[in-house]
Amino acid sequence: MRHLKAGRRLARTTEHRTAMLRNLITQLLEHERVQTTQAKAKEARQWAEKIITLAKRGDLHARRQTLRVVRTKKAMGKLFGELRDRYQNRPGGYTRIIPLGFRVGDGAAVSILELVGRPENLPKPRKKAGAT
């Protein structure tokens, strides 16, 4: 039984899982949009929400806690600059998961994990041929 065991294992060792999620969060902060499997997106979403909440505090201790996860100076600068200003008045919900379907090779559910309120316009979904 898995009582009181939070988080997904993602079929990886602890070191591999944490390294993978740190890289995923760093890329999300740099590019503001990442395509990954649905399970990874759900797990990374929890980390991203906590990191952005820490950045909103903006003190030295928050920066040091964030450095445990975020791996590049570029992502740190963007997080404590542009993203901090963007989400300062928002009480939570900084990310969204958009399901895309299933991957051809192994049938894994694929999703897009993105930051809410991106400045660029998203492409509009295409209408189906039979729909009016």
- Residue found under tokens 């969060």: 25
Q: How far is CA 34 from CA 98, 110, 111, in A?
A: 10, 11, 8
Nearest Cα residue to 81 out of 93, 66, 92:
66
Structure tokens of 39? 């399970």
Q: Which fold has domain 14-115?
A: 50s Ribosomal Protein L17; Chain: A, (3.90.1030)
pLDDT tens column, 77-91: 999 999 999 999 999
pLDDT tens column, 26-41: 999 999 999 999 999 9
The residues, ordered by sequence, that sit 6+ positions from 126 with a Cβ below 8 Å of its Cβ are none
Question: Is the pLDDT score of 4 beyond 70?
Answer: yes
